[in-house]
Amino acid sequence: MKVTISGQTENPNGLYHRYNITKASGEPCDTDAVYFVLRLDSGGDDQKHIAACRAALQTYTAVMEAADHLPKMADDLRTLLWSLDKDTRSYFQRN
């Protein structure tokens, strides 16, 4: 099923096509794939958005760990999250 995401003009305050994704290897991406970019660093003006992005990655990592799927990637993501801020570290210490 092909998913169409509108442009910024049509949906300026919602989900819109903001990034063009390419693979680092140079291989073509699946033209029917849907990607969503998460900002994880502390740059930018919208700290609530960044916190939400980090929470999304925390959830993704926890699901991968629970499923024992791609354990090296889950470990690398956890390490990345720990390096970002103390709030992320306290989340993983609780869970």
Cβ atoms of 57 and 51 within 8 Å: the answer is: no
Q: How confident is the model at residue 85 (pLDDT cuts 50, 70, 90)?
A: confident
In the chain, where the domains are located: 47-94
User: 45-67 burial, b for 16+ CB within 10 Å, e for fewer?
Assistant: eeeeebeebbeebbeebbebbee
Q: Give me the pLDDT at residue 93, please.
A: 58
**Which pLDDT does position 88 carry in this prediction?**
54
**Is 14's pLDDT higher than 80?**
yes
Predicted local distance difference test score (pLDDT) of residue 46 = 87
Q: Which pLDDT tens digit goes with each residue over 22-55?
A: 999 999 999 888 999 999 988 888 888 888 999 9
